[in-house]
Structure 1
Amino acid sequence: MTSSRTPVNQMEEALAVLGDSLGLFYDQSGKGLSPHESQLWQSVTQAYSQCQSVVAALAAQQGSVVQEDAQHFDIIQLIQKIFASHDMLFLQRQLRYNVSTSADLPKVYGHPDNILQILTTLVGNAIKHSSRASSIDINIKEVALRQGNGVEVAIINACDNFTERDRYKIFEQFYQKETDDKTSGVGLALSRELIQQDNGQLWVDIPEKGKVAFTFVLPCAEVTKSEHKETTQTFKYDIQISNFDQLKSDLGHEKIHSIIDRIETTVRQLVRYPIDVVAAFEQSGVVSTIYETPKGHADSVASRISKRLGSEEFRVGKNPVKLQLKYNLSILK
């Protein structure tokens, strides 16, 4: 039975927006505060933390009683609600937002409360990290999924110098919750978990240079138990060039860069990029991937990667290069 939203839900949303506002204020003015203003700021943030703790305790007491059932709902209405609640933050940073979608967009299936929290987190992060006086684009479209149609929502903002390595670090933080910014709603790690509970997915991408996109997709229909995907685990697979220092000395930076780039491209072809992440760490001669796969299938993905790399011939010009590759597979979650 679907329950209505409670005062606790409303307080959680208000605190999430307040947290974003406090973070923006400190980014802009925190370092220039006088001693008296700093003392006042400390009192405000302590009171905010106390409010968070009280609301979290109330929410825990209510537990599943206040949880809305999964249902069909209009994702556009939730997005409009989020932007309405963040109007002042957009004005403070002179930001614009553009929503692009189709008129016949279907409803999605999931838990509206959870998706509202996730949108609060993602929009808050976009506002915080966007270049001042830039725009945030929200692209919404219908997509095909294995179990039927779904809706994909991409929140794109300008973010200078954001690299594939930065994207990799964000993915690592998905599994290290202690590093999450607690003033950003439920945090990126929990956002991804909540999306997956509704048979969706959340990932980070670089659509073009100077921009970053947080994208999630939700199904349009209920996924029955027989259709539900297998329980997954998340793995980190490192491919290290063990003779990297010698090759760098013999070939030079530019040529070793082309070899590492080729390894990175090959690995991307063998995982679900950009949902899974691949990044090269050139200073140490390592290419690493973080990927999700059903339990018991980790070795098959890793084996596919190692076999492909082992069968490829690497050359610099016409001369073959003897790569000594070392592999390490570890569990993140």
Structure 2
Amino acid sequence: MLDMLRQTCSSMDLLFLSKRITYHVSAASDMSSVFADPEKIQSVVTELLRRIVKRMPHGSMVNISLNEVSMRNGRGIEISLSGVDESESGKNLTTFLQELFGEGIGGSSSSLFACRESIISQGGQLSVDLPKPQQPVFKVVLPTVGTSSLAISEQRTFKYDISITNIANLRKRFGIKKSCVFVSQIENYVRALVRHPIDIVMSVPARGVITAIYDTSEGTANSVASRISKRLGTEEFRIGKKIVDVKFKYHLTSLPHAVLGKGK
């Protein structure tokens, strides 16, 4: 996998040089082999790197790392790709997710959507996070050799929308700014209940909506959602020192997914 990353970067030297972009590759030692088609993985990594580099300012650096991680169905190898995104969309995680999940969350088909479908076809996961404005991190997680192909084939992607139905009253009582901060606090609370950043959590503070997107087998989708709703239902929330009566509404849907192929 490390050799593939180096070959991919070398094949893109002209693009890197055109913007004076450098890259740094780091990897843990003694990693397991990946159970996936190397050509498909290289194609996805190339597309992600091309996207990252084109949106970076001249003279900056792409960070690439390889690590072994836990997946729900076994061990996996995570490829992390990050760089500064100076475009307007680089400020908004929702924009990235609309591209990544396509029509599943209101966007249209894109290169990111195609990349996600390709990774899913190999039993893997593709996610994006925005830990800081204009600094997106793309993570490709692939199963290692020995991971159950049956468990992989059963994986589906689900979207769990959590709406604060009394957000208008909270905005009226505490003001817009404090209410938006409060929604972000609940977003962070939900993030701690899932496998972030493999599972994605985002919010639209102005609407009082928090969305969790996660991969799991179809039979356990409700159990993940139930765990989140039960914790939210028993938690005591505050804005400042005042206890807040928060009313939630939940909606679980399945997102489009690819037909799985065979890894090599």
TM-score by length of 2: 0.82
Corresponding position of 2:139: 215
Rate the CA distance shift 1:310–1:180 in 2: closer, same or farther, 3 A: same
2:51 equivalent to 1:125: yes
Percentage of identical aligned residues: 35
2:155 equivalent to 1:197: no
Corresponding position of 1:152: 78
Q: Deviations 1:141-177 (Å, cap 9, x if unpaired)? A: 3445566654322111112488998334323333327
CA distance in structure 2 between the aligned counterparts of 1:260 and 1:299, rounded to whole angstroms = 23
Rate the CA distance shift 1:149–1:232 in 2: closer, same or farther, 3 A: closer
Alpha-carbon distance, 1:180 to partner: 4.1
2:208 equivalent to 1:285: yes
Letter aligned with residue 247 of structure 2: Q
Corresponding position of 1:314: 237
* Match 1:172 to one of 95, 98, 105: 98
CA distance in structure 2 between the aligned counterparts of 1:93 and 1:194, rounded to whole angstroms = 28
CA distance in structure 2 between the aligned counterparts of 1:301 and 1:209, rounded to whole angstroms = 29
Corresponding position of 1:253: 176
* Match 2:228 to one of 302, 305, 316: 305
2:163 equivalent to 1:240: yes
Computing the radius of gyration from Cα coordinates, the structure with the larger value is 1
Q: Deviations 1:250-308 (Å, cap 9, x if unpaired)? A: 11134323421231122112222111211121111211222222113222222222221
CA distance in structure 2 between the aligned counterparts of 1:319 and 1:224, rounded to whole angstroms = 49
* Match 2:38 to one of 105, 112, 125: 112
Secondary structure in 2 matching 1:108: coil
2:174 equivalent to 1:271: no
Q: Mind listing any 5+ residue stretches in structure 1 that lack a counterpart?
A: 1-74, 182-186
Secondary structure in 2 matching 1:110: coil
Q: Deviations 1:236-260 (Å, cap 9, x if unpaired)? A: 2222222212221111134323421
Alpha-carbon distance, 1:95 to partner: 0.9
CA distance in structure 1 between the aligned counterparts of 2:193 and 2:42, rounded to whole angstroms = 33
Letter aligned with residue 176 of structure 2: H
Corresponding position of 1:97: 23
Contact residue 74 and residue 148 of structure 2 kept, 8 A: no
Secondary structure in 1 matching 2:83: strand
Rate the CA distance shift 1:320–1:107 in 2: closer, same or farther, 3 A: closer
Correspondence 1:35-74 to 2 at 5 A: none
Letter aligned with residue 223 of structure 2: S
Secondary structure in 2 matching 1:130: coil
Letter aligned with residue 158 of structure 1: V
Corresponding position of 1:44: none
Alpha-carbon distance, 1:102 to partner: 4.7
Q: Deviations 1:83-119 (Å, cap 9, x if unpaired)? A: 2221111111121111222565554332111112111
Secondary structure in 2 matching 1:198: coil
TM-score by length of 1: 0.67
Contact residue 92 and residue 133 of structure 2 kept, 8 A: no
Corresponding position of 1:324: 247
- How much is the aligned-residue C-alpha RMSD, in angstroms? 2.8
Rate the CA distance shift 1:290–1:164 in 2: closer, same or farther, 3 A: farther
Rate the CA distance shift 1:146–1:246 in 2: closer, same or farther, 3 A: closer
Rate the CA distance shift 1:147–1:231 in 2: closer, same or farther, 3 A: closer
**In proportion to residue count, which structure has more helix?**
1
Q: Mind listing any 5+ residue stretches in structure 2 that lack a counterpart?
A: 257-264
CA distance in structure 1 between the aligned counterparts of 2:134 and 2:248, rounded to whole angstroms = 33
CA distance in structure 2 between the aligned counterparts of 1:272 and 1:248, rounded to whole angstroms = 30
Q: Deviations 1:191-218 (Å, cap 9, x if unpaired)? A: 2233233333221123555422212123
